[in-house]
Amino acid sequence: MFGETFKLALKSLKANKTRAFLTILGIVIGTASVIVIMNVMIGLQTYLVDAFSSHGSYNIEVAIYSQENALTQDEVDRLVTSNSTVFSGNSPVKNLSSLEVARGNTHFKTSGVAVGLGYQDVNDINLEEGEFLNYVDITSSKPAIVIGSYLRETLFGDENPIGQTVKLNGQEFIVRGYLKQKSETENVENSDNNTFYIPYGTGALFDAGGKIDDVIFRVQSEDELPQAKEILRTYLKDRIGDEEEYLVYSNDEVAETVSTIFSSITAILTLITAISLLVGGIGIMNITFITVVERTKEIGIRSAIGANPKLILRQFLIEAVVTSLVGGIIGIFFGLILTVFAYILMEETLYVSIWSIVISVGAAVGIGALFGYIPAKRASKMNPITALNTE
């Protein structure tokens, strides 16, 4: 019985193709919008969370908001040594952005990090060739540099960059080594591969103490994170006093915060785009009312020969649901195409969530059932005699 009703619903759609298209347009747009928004936002959320996590789940970063309160390397070393069962290493860092890197006639903007001893160990830096900044480079603030795979490819092509020079804001640096390309990102200008590392002291050439200085602490294991944070917060509280002057955080905390924020934004944007599904639902209700009026005699004949009101309700309800479902399927098709285009424009790895499809189809079917019920109920309650006498 259900299969026969389903076939009648499809037959009704084919008989009025133009009207059916206009009816499902809102559902198509709504479904496609939900899929694009969910996939793009979840993809960005996954990318950012992975990016923070990749910087070391065993790392704790301390940010000092004033140069007057900045920690010295001796202080940091003593703190690590006195808590050697908790900490395994440390490195000061200074973020450097929008510097011009050049070699010959090739030049463009890049960002990197000025680092101290131990940075390679605390951040699991993977080199393709050469070596990372050594003890002499860092302690003597040498003009040495380790470059990302994008810089190597763009500035040197097939040449071996090790031992050659590049310029940062006009200052010459000798290339010590270059990094492996990060597998999760493409080798393009706006990727994590467009980066560099120079000695911490050398970073003063580009940021003479006017920026927040951070220190990265590496803990022995993930289980030590809570104790490590407590040690650092206690030390900074005793040394600085004002808790507003510093921040202690781990990459896991940042990743969790980013994930929570993106989840909330995704939910809000999805609800906003779902408004078009409601518009589509109103269209389905209107067209179902029109169909009921047009088929009043048919309803009267079926009632007169003994059709159960529930069967009539089910027929029109299924027609509304099928109409909405067809719109949802078409919307999925266009939504996936638009998602692919969005990721191409963003130059990121494609991410498609199965939940975006499940939620979209479920919403489309639910909208069809909800807005189709009222006209279907009206059809099932028609008086057979009145329906047969309707012109």
* Domain boundaries, position 325: 2-51+261-388
CA distance 226 to 255: 16
Phi-psi region of 241 (alpha: psi -120 to 50; beta: other; left: phi over 0): left
In a domain, 239, yes or no: no
Task: Show Cβ contacts of residue 38 under 8 Å, excluding neighbours closer than 6 positions.
Answer: 266, 270, 353, 355, 356, 359
Q: Give the chain's radius of gyration (CA, Å).
A: 32
CA distance 298 to 42: 49
Low-confidence ranges of the chain (pLDDT < 50): 187, 210-212
- In the chain, what are the helix, strand and coil shares in percent, each to the nearest 5? 60, 20, 25
Report the relative pairing of strands 106-115 and 196-199 from DSSP bridges.
Answer: parallel
The confidence score (pLDDT) of residue 212 equals 46
The confidence score (pLDDT) of residue 173 equals 92
Phi-psi region of 42 (alpha: psi -120 to 50; beta: other; left: phi over 0): alpha
In a domain, 343, yes or no: yes
The confidence score (pLDDT) of residue 210 equals 43
User: Tell me, what amino acid is at 267?
Assistant: A
Task: Show Cβ contacts of residue 276 under 8 Å, excluding neighbours closer than 6 positions.
Answer: 26, 29, 30, 33
Both 185 and 314 in a single domain?
Answer: no
Q: Which of 220, 250, 272 is the last residue of a domain?
A: 220
Both 82 and 24 in a single domain?
Answer: no
Both 11 and 125 in a single domain?
Answer: no
Both 63 and 194 in a single domain?
Answer: yes
Q: Which two tokens stand for residue 63?
A: 């940010």
CA distance 70 to 235: 13
Both 139 and 283 in a single domain?
Answer: no
CB atoms < 10 A from the CB of 87, how many? 23
Q: Which pLDDT tens digit goes with each residue over 85-131?
A: 888 777 788 888 888 888 888 888 888 888 887 787 777 778 888 88
Both 82 and 205 in a single domain?
Answer: yes
CA distance 264 to 275: 17
CA distance 243 to 19: 65
Buried-state track 213-234, b at ≥16 Cβ within 10 A, e below 16: bbbbbbbbeeebbeebbebbee
Burial status of residue 287 (CB atoms within 10 A of its CB: 0-12, 13-18, 19 or more): buried
In a domain, 161, yes or no: yes
Q: Which pLDDT tens digit goes with each residue over 160-211?
A: 999 999 898 888 999 998 888 875 555 455 566 788 899 888 887 776 554 4
CA distance 11 to 164: 73
Cross-strand pairs, 95 = 113
Q: Which of 220, 235, 253 is the last residue of a domain?
A: 220
Both 80 and 190 in a single domain?
Answer: yes
- pTM value is 0.58
Angle at CA 256, nearest 5°, toward 254 and 257?
65
CA distance 95 to 247: 16
In a domain, 294, yes or no: yes
Both 144 and 161 in a single domain?
Answer: yes
Both 17 and 64 in a single domain?
Answer: no
Cross-strand pairs, 114 = 94, 198
Q: Which pLDDT tens digit goes with each residue over 316-331?
A: 788 888 888 888 888 8
Both 103 and 207 in a single domain?
Answer: yes
Q: Which of 192, 220, 248 is the last residue of a domain?
A: 220
In a domain, 249, yes or no: no
In a domain, 320, yes or no: yes
Both 30 and 129 in a single domain?
Answer: no
The number of residues making up the chain comes to 391
| Strand residue runs (E) in the chain | 59-64, 87-103, 106-115, 127-130, 144-147, 165-168, 171-179, 196-199, 213-219, 246-250
Segment (H or E) for 369: helix 354-380
In contact, 206 and 168? CB cutoff 8 Å: yes
If one counts the domains in the chain, the total is 2
Both 139 and 169 in a single domain?
Answer: yes
The confidence score (pLDDT) of residue 1 equals 53
